[in-house]
Structure 1
Amino acid sequence: MGGVVREVFVPALAGPPASGSLGDIPFQNAREAPREAVLARKDRDGVWHDVTAAEFAREVLAVAKGLIAEGLAEGDRLAIMARTTYEWTLLDFAGWAAGLVTVPIYPTSSALQARWIIHDSGAVACAVEDTVQARLISAERANLPGLAHLWEFDTGALARLVKAGEHLPDAIVHARRAARTPESVATLVYTSGTTGTPKGCVLTHGNFHAEVDNAVELLHPVFRSVSTEPASTLLFLPLSHVFGRMVAVGCLRARVKLGHAPSIGTEELLADLAGFRPTFLLAIPYVLEKVYNTARATAEKMGRASSFDRAARIAQRYGETVEGGKPGMGLRAARALYDPLVYRRIRAALGGRVRYVLSGGSPLGRRLAAFYTGAGIDVFEGYGLTETTAASTVTPPQRPRLGTVGWPLPGTAVRIADDGEVLLRGRHVFAGYWNVSAHQPGEWLATGDIGELDADGYLTITGRKKDMIITSGGKNVAPAPLEDWLRAHPLVGQCLVIGDNRPYVAALVTLEPDGLAHWRQMHKKQDVPIRELVTDPELLAELQRAVDEANKLVSRAESIRRFTVLPGEFSEARGHLTPSLKLRRGAIARDYEGEIDELYRAPRTA
């Protein structure tokens, strides 16, 4: 229609399984490659130990028997509330082997959020990581009459389950596995609840197979060993998020060695990366931004900021040229010069062997994607929802297109509606919402995202439909590109672009603690209180330069005219962020109503 691409479909690379479930994966691995290392566990001394396929299958079987011995029936819901740990994945697969439906809960959830998920899902058992979480759930037991069991990993719950099930024959687990089909429900994953009560997405075993089997086939260099180094990844994103969960399942399915890192604190994560040394990583843009900004801050402390910035520009130019052809000799020489000085240090921070990154959750941005490509790390950016078992589009190998979220995942169709909304269809699309009769998916899933397809079928996401700003002058503004660009700045923690029914676009900005600490040190303002710093002329000037750069992305009518720096951070505890770090715009606008009004009362800058 008028040269505009409205729909694109990529045929599946993997057919649907005729039978079976995710609970079969450990046992299939044990039959086919019993001695192959499929996981690794870190001991108390920080040493990683491989877990073979046969060992993992034995553990899954033993825990599954324990779940059955405790009285859990086929189809019962089992909630799991923990950080990203080996025990999480073990219990997940044991639950599937026992015919259960697992229900993840973010480890940072409040008592009210956890109670809602356990109550709505009808979970009869809940496993938590530690005493703090156990107390949180225990305090809600009076409101959860259906919750019969509460187990804690840190006090040996899994060992007790194994002991409880010792008297049962293995055949009881195998019979339950045999009764599962691709249409059986595997898990209920609750949405973040940015605008209301979280809803449980019903994901089947077939949904996961459609997702991971096609992703593994498409991303062959990532999941399959193409050198003497076996493929491996260290998972540090929450397993309560569908993105992390999908990759964990995909790794077990493809027999890629999987490790777990429970902390994303800078020092702890860097130590785990150095010890595990993965070949690829799953990351959200925040993590990649932090690695970049930390490297730049380190260079500045050493008096080498200008050298780092030159290296960054060369990497970005190199990354930009890769998608269109072969970089010239001069650019290749410049990149080779900076590789041992800068790029190798970036790769070393990620463990030294990382060659691929799967990025999702929010747009990475063309600049950072080009930088990492130039630094020797291929970035596969994807887009998807909880309702689509994670990715619905992904960057195809050898065919990057920076700034886009790639092609449809094989087996997926993408359509752009008349109003620009992205619609999706495929076997990975969920079965519907738990306990919700209305708003179930039809032939096409309406995502709520606004996007466009280019002539080659690459999708670009420009924003959320409900987040679109319409100024009082009638200009439509998508806030996401401006927010994503600003958030990549080392001083910016979060950014909320506003302007609905207002005369111009403005922004609320929070400061990133590590970036601010570095800025204080470099400007010798360690003792200046934060409430004074937010109006510091030097700080505001640096942020204004960042805003000016972001404004180059849009027309003048869409540009940020004014901004204010807030003394505090947006946080999940204050209700401003979801557990997956998405902005709760309504809550922020309500809590900062005075600051927003001030942006429109004060004289506007030119």
Structure 2
Amino acid sequence: MREFTTPSRSGRPAMGGLADALFDAALRDPYRVVALTGGRAGDAGPREVRARELRDQVSALARGMLAHGIRFGDRVAVMSDDGYACLLVDLALWCLGAVPVPVPAAAPAWQAHRIIEGTGAVACFLQNEIQALTVGPLCGGRTGLRHLWQLDTGALDRLCRSGTELDEEPVERHRRALVPDSIASIVHTAGTTGPPKACVLTHGALAAGADALAASCWPPAAGERSGEHSGQPCVALAAPPEQATARLLRIAALRHGLPLAHLPSGGEAGHEADRSGLTTLRPSFLLAPATRFEHSFAAVRREAHLSGRTGAFGMAVDIAVKYAEACQRRARGEGPGPGRALRVQHQLFDRAFYAGVRERFGGRLERAIALGAGPQPRLVSFFTGAGVPLHTGYGLTEFAGPVTLAPPEHPHSATAGRPVPGTTVHVDEHGRIWVRGPQTFTGYHGDLPRTRQALSGGWLNTGDLGVLDPDGHLTVTGRAADVFALRDGRLLAPRPIEERVRAHPLVAHCVVVGHGMPRPTALITLDADAVTDWLALSGLRGVTAERYAEDSRVQDQIAGAVKAAGPLCPPDATIRAFRILPTAFHRDSTFLTPAGTIRRDVVREHFAKEIAALYEA
């Protein structure tokens, strides 16, 4: 199949912009809960924010920005990991017809300067003093940056107070002047294949993307719920606020009436903070990086090992996977579903393990989306079989977020799923993926040549390669820019090989290299927790975490994983040499994007000596 369309379930808004959803909700139901704040360790509990209260906060902030000279069409950078503050700032800017420009909170100085200068931002919201020192040199001088507002010093409160003498009428006039084709935001790509590109997204595109996301995986309304899922549903975001799908979920929550809560998203310590927040909030929907689910699995496995139940946990994993796969076969019409013996085993392990897995996510979770480089299909099946239904998919910043989503009950869990509602996916004769839908961006800011390369006749050239099966399920095989030629001219797509190596439980990341060389080689990082558990389970002692990469037993395991990927390599060009790197790639490092995707050019440049040594050997 070359093309597949999923019909739309809603259209673009007839008029107005994204902030209208909040103002309409405040008029219809002023006491509706629209957001939850707090809910972290040490808090008494989450505080409910009503529609009228949020509207008043947004209106006051908009008047304060208006008093400081922010006008219709102005670009304003937002560099913060405080999700609720980002929500307030985005809505206030949209009320004025201004354009928020998200900047990753951990962005190095060169990246922050590039984004702020490149978009012509006139103001910047910052989280803390470190970020102020990073951006401060841009204020005045040759840039148009006039204001720096530091959130942790009370900048929002001061702005609200500064606009008290202004009437609400100018804000209303600006808000009502917006149409769906008005620019809503300039969002930068992750930069996996080069410098980040500035994508211009309209109010209509973001609204269409939010509606498509909600239609694909939204939990049922409160009145339709029962059992452990009864009560008010809640959406929890444990993702960087600037991430495209996180922004869509914030918009979708407002447009479709679900309370929204933000959880910490950065650093390794953030996973435990997430767990504290999730058990307090007990959300029904979660958006988090794929590493969040991988760390949760590793933590449950470690707890089982420490309690002497390692073998039982291994059986529990197998049963959960078999249970999920049996349900998928039933959905495809290929079987009756889990048999009686499998159901009994599943119930036994549910009490022993699965209930604890669900409790790590609050105990009420109905849906979850894993961001970035998705977990392995077996891990997705485990969580789904354990009662944590997990979506994976494929998305683009240029498309305002998800292009396809694979729901947990999907009968083809190894694919990226079908197009979200209102979206058409086309795969041309060269295997290149093209997409079309109302979510499509209008172009790259200030880069007409690249815009013309990306857009053609209403279609977006994704730059990715893939295949569509007869039922419209998309499998992404890699990026066209990642494909490289070996010395004899044969082309190699590294992603399928890397994913096959990553299927080994000891492997965290794999990067296949070899442009212009006789055969490919690989750089590999280890999952230190998984190695620790495996060594203990095998009765092997005396190896410290710092020496894992040098241990011959670990080397043998990784060699087996590399050999298993051999059939995916060109004939007579399998990987015969690899290097286990001493440290893993973390999300806050330069080797990964905020969503967890590998920056190949950075890895190749940083480990050039190690790559050269592989071929010298």
Give, in whole Å, the separation in 2 of the partners of 1:529 and 1:266. Answer: 21
Change (3 A) 1:147 1:535: same
Contact 2:139 2:146 in 1 (8 A): no
Change (3 A) 1:312 1:186: same
Which runs of no fewer than 5 residues in structure 2 stay unpaired? 331-336
Aligned residues: 597
**Equivalent position of 1:169 in the other structure:** 167
Q: 1:486 deviation in Å? A: 4.1
Contact 1:109 1:579 in 2 (8 A): no
Which of 290, 297, 303 matches 1:298?
303
SS for the counterpart of 1:175 is: helix
Contact 1:223 1:251 in 2 (8 A): no
Change (3 A) 1:497 1:169: same
Q: What is the correspondence of 1:80-119 to structure 2 with a 5 Å cutoff? A: 80-119=78-117
Contact 2:566 2:574 in 1 (8 A): yes
% identical aligned pairs: 36
SS for the counterpart of 1:83 is: coil
Give, in whole Å, the separation in 1 of the partners of 2:223 and 2:201. Answer: 29
SS for the counterpart of 1:65 is: helix
Change (3 A) 1:559 1:346: farther
Which of 248, 271, 292 matches 1:287?
292
**Equivalent position of 1:387 in the other structure:** 398
Q: 1:76 deviation in Å? A: 0.5
Which of 128, 139, 154 matches 1:156?
154
Q: 1:396 deviation in Å? A: 5.4
Give, in whole Å, the separation in 2 of the partners of 1:488 and 1:153. Answer: 42
**Equivalent position of 1:402 in the other structure:** 413
**Equivalent position of 2:248 in the other structure:** 246
Contact 1:187 1:203 in 2 (8 A): yes
Q: 1:56 deviation in Å? A: 0.9
Contact 1:7 1:413 in 2 (8 A): yes
Q: 1:580 deviation in Å? A: 3.1
**Equivalent position of 2:556 in the other structure:** 541
Give, in whole Å, the separation in 2 of the partners of 1:527 and 1:554. Answer: 33
**Equivalent position of 1:433 in the other structure:** 444
Contact 1:224 1:254 in 2 (8 A): no
Contact 2:120 2:143 in 1 (8 A): no
> 2:247 is matched by which residue type in structure 1?
R
**Equivalent position of 1:10 in the other structure:** 6
**Equivalent position of 2:496 in the other structure:** 481
Contact 1:65 1:168 in 2 (8 A): yes
Contact 1:84 1:237 in 2 (8 A): no
Contact 1:293 1:490 in 2 (8 A): no
Q: What is the correspondence of 1:139-150 to structure 2 with a 5 Å cutoff? A: 139-141=137-139, 145-150=143-148
Change (3 A) 1:558 1:48: farther
Contact 2:543 2:551 in 1 (8 A): no
> More displaced, 360-369 or 95-104?
360-369
Give, in whole Å, the separation in 2 of the partners of 1:349 and 1:554. Answer: 39
Q: 1:13 deviation in Å? A: 0.7
Q: 1:31 deviation in Å? A: 1.6
> 1:18 is matched by which residue type in structure 2?
A
**Equivalent position of 2:232 in the other structure:** 230
1:412 is aligned to 2:423? yes
Give, in whole Å, the separation in 1 of the partners of 2:595 and 2:39. Answer: 28
**Equivalent position of 1:199 in the other structure:** 197
**Equivalent position of 2:462 in the other structure:** 447
SS for the counterpart of 1:109 is: coil
Contact 2:399 2:440 in 1 (8 A): yes
> More displaced, 467-476 or 335-344?
467-476
Give, in whole Å, the separation in 2 of the partners of 1:540 and 1:417. Answer: 41
> 1:290 is matched by which residue type in structure 2?
H
> 1:324 is matched by which residue type in structure 2?
R
Contact 1:207 1:427 in 2 (8 A): yes
Change (3 A) 1:231 1:571: closer
Change (3 A) 1:85 1:120: same
Give, in whole Å, the separation in 2 of the partners of 1:43 and 1:462. Answer: 40
> 1:598 is matched by which residue type in structure 2?
A
| C-alpha distance after superposition, 1:237-294 (max 9, x if no partner) | 1111111111111112112111111244222111111111111211332222221122
Contact 2:422 2:438 in 1 (8 A): yes
Which of 254, 257, 273 matches 1:268?
273
> 2:169 is matched by which residue type in structure 1?
A
| C-alpha distance after superposition, 1:435-456 (max 9, x if no partner) | 1111222221111111111111
Q: 1:103 deviation in Å? A: 0.4
Give, in whole Å, the separation in 1 of the partners of 2:570 and 2:347. Answer: 37
Q: 1:302 deviation in Å? A: 2.1
Give, in whole Å, the separation in 1 of the partners of 2:202 and 2:448. Answer: 18
Give, in whole Å, the separation in 2 of the partners of 1:114 and 1:328. Answer: 56
| C-alpha distance after superposition, 1:148-188 (max 9, x if no partner) | 10001110000001100111111221111100110000000
Change (3 A) 1:136 1:382: same
Contact 1:36 1:53 in 2 (8 A): yes
Q: What is the correspondence of 1:457-468 to structure 2 with a 5 Å cutoff? A: 457-468=472-483
Give, in whole Å, the separation in 1 of the partners of 2:34 and 2:557. Answer: 47
Which of 243, 258, 261 matches 1:259?
261
Which of 308, 326, 341 matches 1:330?
341
> 2:95 is matched by which residue type in structure 1?
A
1:598 is aligned to 2:603? no
Give, in whole Å, the separation in 1 of the partners of 2:152 and 2:137. Answer: 19
Contact 1:84 1:235 in 2 (8 A): no
Q: 1:512 deviation in Å? A: 3.6
Change (3 A) 1:471 1:299: farther
Contact 1:219 1:397 in 2 (8 A): no
Contact 1:469 1:500 in 2 (8 A): yes
TM-score, normalised via structure 2 length: 0.91
TM-score, normalised via structure 1 length: 0.92
Q: 1:224 deviation in Å? A: 6.7
SS for the counterpart of 2:224 is: coil
> More displaced, 255-264 or 149-158?
255-264
| C-alpha distance after superposition, 1:528-582 (max 9, x if no partner) | 472x432111222333344455557778767543321112344677643333332
